[in-house]
Structure 1
Amino acid sequence: MRMSRRQTLQAGALAAVGVALSACRAQDGSRPAQGRGNAAPVGATPAGGWRMPDEAHPHELTYMSWPTRQIWKSDIYGVREDVARIARTIAEFEPVVLLANAQDVKAARKACGSGVEVVPIPVDDLWMRDIGPTFVLGPDGIAGVDLNFNGWGNKQIRGRDSRVAQAILDDEHITRIKAPIIGEGGAVEVDGKGTLLATESSLVNGNRNPGTSRDDIEQVLKALFGITTVIWVDGVRGEDITDYHIDALARFSEPGVVVMSTPDEEAPRDVWTGAYDQARKVLDRAVDARGKRLEVVELPEPVDIGRRGDGFLACYVNYYVVNGAVIMPGFGDKKADSHAASIVRDLYPGRKVVQLPVDTLGEGGGGIHCSTQQLPRTT
């Protein structure tokens, strides 16, 4: 049985990923290096003014990953349809590079079409936001932060996924910054102007960073991503495989504006509504890196979505901003879908809003943002 990102399951004895600054073995079967990056040394420390741009910063391309039968079992056909649909849609606005195991390349190319570049790099699963590098820009060009993916705290096999970040960076000849902590790209959200949002439940957690304090993790985040202000919310521990990533709760649409996934007023009280209440209180009184209070915009969650599994991710904030557009989920609740699209359209003037059905992806507890990772443009 595959693991839902909204279910905590025992995955057996998995080896923990260390945080020593050592280089992993290069991947076989990757395409010839494209040389998008500068040739700084592997394992470079985050010095020289690196900063993580916001997602609306122009993209060079989007990275994605082709799901495997080993993880998705009988849901493989549905989830591959979802991933291919996302890839084809993004490719209308910017290039897409999709990683796939060598034996899956042909099927991925057929499903995604000629507008998507499929490259043979070994993968376990589709969650590129978490397994890929998180890119930063600086005076020396571009670098990729490798957050030492360990299967969300050793909850899922990741023999290949733990090497994806380095494989991409090696392939592109981009500087690799190996983080001294363990985390995932979906655990951090930035405004591009010095402010970062994160959940304590995901990063300040013994399954990633045992014995490491919040203050110590905060200092690392500031150094890695060029941040001066970190706003922490509690999140939820142990109820989903990610320990509640911030990208399913709150996103920056621009500096000073946070979009929150908002439960329906009639929703039963549970750990998720409690996490929303706590986060809302924090954000209502928070000050960003510019010393300004935040504006919080509610993005109501859908209500009429039929029978879904307990792990279904029914939130609109897991959208993805691309060049000229915002790609967001639609859940079949016509009223809620239309209302959400209207809100996002107002938040991103000048961008086309495209809604896609991604039901199988949602049953896996993730969404469009979880399945993508942007390579920011350097010029």
Structure 2
Amino acid sequence: MNVALSKQRTLETTPPAALGFRMPAEFAPHDACWMLWPQRPDTWRFGAKPAQRAFVEVACAIAESETVFVGVNDDQFENARHQLPAHIRVVELSSNDAWMRDVGPTFVTHADGRLAMVDWDFNAWGGLDGGLYFPWDKDKRIRAKIAEMLGIPRFIAPVVLEGGALHVDGEGTLITTEECLLNPNRNPELTQQEMAQVLHDYLGVDKVIWLPRGCHRDETDGHVDNLCCFVAPGQVALSWCDDTRDPMHAICREALAVLEGTSDAKGRPLTVHKLPQPGPLRIAEDEASGLDHLDSSHPRRPGDRMAASYVNFYIANAAVVMPLLDPAHDEAAKAILQGRFPDKRVIGVPAREILLGGGNIHCITQQQPRP
């Protein structure tokens, strides 16, 4: 048997943490960022043209300090190549939609300089029990294709999980929500302790902080990346609402109580930085009318509230790319983030078109860490 092939198979069947791999924090150095190109007409209005312009702005901001790969279906390759600058790499990578955070790999690194990935199972945020579209067959193949392109090992995890459901500090701590990871439409047979063990085995984390639930009306069943994230070891950003009439008022206070009542894997108390909640923001009549309406996809109706959050930003090598969503709060949120990342430039990108699709900047990006 070929020795290299034998080693590859061993890596793919042994949990990565047992081999010394772990998931770095997003604020650690990157080699690249991966994105996908929007085109799905029941997610993105007017043939996705407004969303494509927003994706181009996000890609350009990130590409100032790291390589950006944009995966594109064949029928959109020429259009994407025309819209994206030459230094952004456009590759044919078929998908059902454009949420790379959730359908792409979770990268892990080794102290000896190796890069690998975790391949979670994906069921479109709930499968036939509340999932957002059907089918999701192309999405399920993305991780295997990226592993082939990069020539790296792929650890196939035994659970349904999306990248937006977790954040790590790179020092042994992971933050997530019970609403998502313990949802019956993901892994109904697993207990909280069993799921924590999977996270330890595949990401190398020692402590899991469980927040009760994610943002109000979040289509992903409460992804943590829309509510709370690590900005440094021992420090988190949390979406915050002061309106007692708003359902987010109770949600963010539940999260704050957990965060202030625990410590990270190193025993440090957590410092919480509150980011004001934009809006509330709702889908306008003309925005809903530009969508195709299909029985197999999640409905988007006029007046529906969107799960808007400034926490849904991307930490690039030299920048923080944040969504601009509400003129009443954009500058305040930007100033808070600049204070947390004094060595990076905070770049605001108009992101309502991404929000209309059900997520935001963090949801459409996936960092490839520098080993």
TM-score (norm 2): 0.86
Q: Hey, what's the Cα distance between the residues in 2 that align with 1:64 and 1:178?
A: 21
Match of 2:266 among 250, 273, 290: 290
Does structure 1 conserve the Cα–Cα contact (< 8 Å) formed by 2:215 and 2:227?
A: no
Q: What amino acid sits opposite 1:234 in the alignment?
A: P
Counterpart in the other structure of 1:30: none
Distance (Å, rounded) in 2 between the aligned partners of 1:363 and 1:373: 20
Q: 1:273 to 1:113 in 2, by over 3 A?
A: same
Of 264, 268, 288, which aligns to 2:245? 268
Task: Sort the Cα spacing of 1:73 and 1:360 in 2 relative to 1 into closer, same or farther, 3 A.
Answer: closer
Contact kept in structure 2, 1:299 and 1:340, CA below 8 Å: yes
2:35 to 57, 64, 75: 64
Note the 1:346-365 alignment, pairs <5 A: 346-365=339-358
Task: Show the counterpart of 2:291.
Answer: none
- How far residue 219 of structure 1 moved from its aligned partner, in angstroms, is 0.5
The whole-number CA distance in structure 2 between the counterparts of 1:52 and 1:160 is 25
> Corresponding residue for 1:33?
none
Trace 1:162-241 onto structure 2 (pairs within 5 A): 162-235=140-213, 239-241=217-219
Deviations 1:197-247 (A, max 9, x none): 000111111111021111000001011111111000111599433101000
Question: For the Cα contact (< 8 Å) 1:68–1:124, is it kept in 2?
Answer: no
SS where residue 69 of structure 1 aligns? coil
Say whether 1:142 aligns with 2:147: no
Provide structure 1 residue ranges, at least 5 long, that are not aligned to the other structure: 1-38
CA RMSD of aligned residues (A): 1.9
Alignment match of 1:323 (pick from 293, 297, 317): 317
- Secondary structure in structure 2 of the residue aligned to 1:40: helix
> Is 2:353 aligned against 1:372?
no
> Where does structure 2 lack aligned partners over 5 or more consecutive residues?
1-6, 285-302
Q: Report the Cα offset of residue 68 of structure 1.
A: 2.2
User: Which residue number in structure 2 is paired with residue 300 of structure 1?
Assistant: 276
Residue 268 of structure 1 deviates from its aligned partner by: 2.2
Q: Does the CA-based 8 Å contact 1:311-1:365 persist in structure 2?
A: no
CA-to-partner distance for each residue in 1:140-183, whole Å, 9 max, x for gaps? 51110011111011112211111111111111111101111110
SS of aligned partner of 2:58: helix
Determine the C-alpha separation between the residues in 2 that align with 1:268 and 1:79. 32
1:278 lines up with 2:244 in the alignment: no
Letter in 2 for 1:323: N
Check the 8 A contact 1:51/1:138 in 2, yes or no. yes
**Structure-2 change in CA distance of 1:319 and 1:202 (3 Å):** same
Matched residue, 1:83: 55
CA distance in 1, matches of 2:264, 2:43: 40
Do the aligned residues in 2 keep the contact of 1:202 with 1:237 (CA within 8 Å)? no
State the distance in 1 between where 2:282 and 2:122 align.
34
Give the CA deviation at 1:124: 1.1
Pairing of 1:119-158 with structure 2 (within 5 A) = 119-139=91-111, 141-154=114-127, 155=131, 156-157=133-134, 158=136
Deviation at 1:306, TM superposition (A): 8.0
Pair 1:74-2:29 in alignment: no
**1:110, 1:237 → 2: CA distance?**
36
C-alpha distance in 2 between matches for 1:360 and 1:292: 38
- From 7, 18, 26, give the equivalent of 1:55: 26
SS in 2 for 1:181: strand
CA deviation after TM superposition for structure 1 residue 83, in Å: 1.1
Instruction: Report the alpha carbon displacement of residue 44 of structure 1 after superposing the two structures with TM.
Output: 3.5
- Shift in Å at residue 278 of structure 1? 1.1
1:56 maps to amino acid: F
Residues 178/311 of structure 1: CA separation in 2 closer, same or farther (3 Å cut): farther
Letter in 1 for 2:99: W
> Match of 2:126, as an amino acid?
G
1:251 maps onto 2:229 in alignment: yes
Identity of aligned residues (%): 37
Does structure 2 conserve the Cα–Cα contact (< 8 Å) formed by 1:312 and 1:364?
A: no
Q: Give the count of matched residue pairs.
A: 337
Q: Quick one: distance in 1 between partners of 2:275 and 2:29?
A: 24
Q: 1:90·1:322 contact (CA, 8 Å) conserved in 2? A: yes
Q: TM-score scaled to structure 1, two decimals?
A: 0.85
